[in-house]
Structure 1
Amino acid sequence: MHRTIGVTAAVVMAAGLIGTVPATASAAPAGAARTTGAAATGASAQAGDVSTMSVHRKHRKCTKPKGKRFNISWADGFSSTTFYFNNHCKGKNYIRVWYQSNGRKCKNITVKPGVKGRKKLHRIYYQNLMNVDFGKCPLWP
C-alpha cells in the first residue's frame, strides 16, 4: 500500500505539471521559436550552408567546332574550392586560378578535349581566391 501511494502521488504530480506547461508554453515559446528559427537560419548561413553560397559560372567559345563552348563553374569554399568543367572543344583548355598566399600566385587546371569532370584545389578558398579566368599562368613564380 505504501508503494501505491508513492506511485499515485508521482502520477498526479506529473499530470499537474503536464497540464500547466502547455498553457504557459503556448504564450512564450511561440515568439521564442520564431527567434530561434531566425537565429538558426543566420547561424547556418554563417556556418557555410551550401544552399546560401553563390555558384560562379564562366564559359569560353571554342575555335573548333564552331558553336561549342568550354564551361566552368565553382563555389567559394571554406578550406578548398572545387572547379567543375565541361570541355566541348577539340583542343585543350586551361583554367587560370589567381589566389593570395604570401604574395599573388597562380594555379593552372588543364582540361583535355571532350572531358567533363572536376578538380579540387586545397587551401584555395573564399578568403584568398582572387580571380578565375581562361589561359595559362605566367612563368614567374
Structure 2
Amino acid sequence: MKYLCLNGPNLHRLGKREPEIYGHETLQDVEQMLRSVAEQFGSEVELKQSNYEGQLIDWIYDAEDTGLDGIVFNPGAFTHTSVALRDAIASVEIPVVEIHISNIHKREEFRHHSYLAPVCVGQISGLGTFGYEAGLRSLIQLKKGSL
C-alpha cells in the first residue's frame, strides 16, 4: 500500500510560522513520523508540499493515475477558498482525509467552512501533527476494510 501526504500553502514553514498555533514540529518531523507509521503497516508514504493550488490539483490526479491508495491532505488556507481543489478531490476515486493542525472551528469565522470536507472521507482538526498520523492510520484501516 502506498499513500500520499499533501501539504498546502505555508506548511513548509511549520516550526517557524506561528508556533503558538501550529507547534514547533517541522514538516520534516511530520514526514519522519508518517514514514515510521507507514512502515509499521508495510506501507509507504510520500510527502509533498506546494504553495500553488494547481500543483496540488495535479498531484491529486497523479495519485489516482499511479494507483496510490489514499491521500492525507492538509490544504491549509485553500480549505476555505478552493472550489478547484474540491472538484479535483470529488473527481477521483481514491479516498482523501482532510487534516488541520489547529482546530479550525475554534478560530476565525472564515476558517469554519471547508469546501473540501464534503468530498473527503473524513476531516481531522485540532490534534496537532498527530492528526497526520490519525489520517494515515484511518486510510490504512479503510483500505483493509476495517473502517
Bin of the TM-score, shorter chain as denominator length: under 0.3
Structure (1 or 2) with the larger CA radius of gyration: 1
Give the alignment's TM-score, normalised by structure 2. Answer: 0.25
Higher strand proportion (structure 1 or 2): 1
TM-score normalised according to structure 1 size: 0.25
Which structure has more RCO (C-alpha within 8 Å, separation ≥ 6)?
A: 2
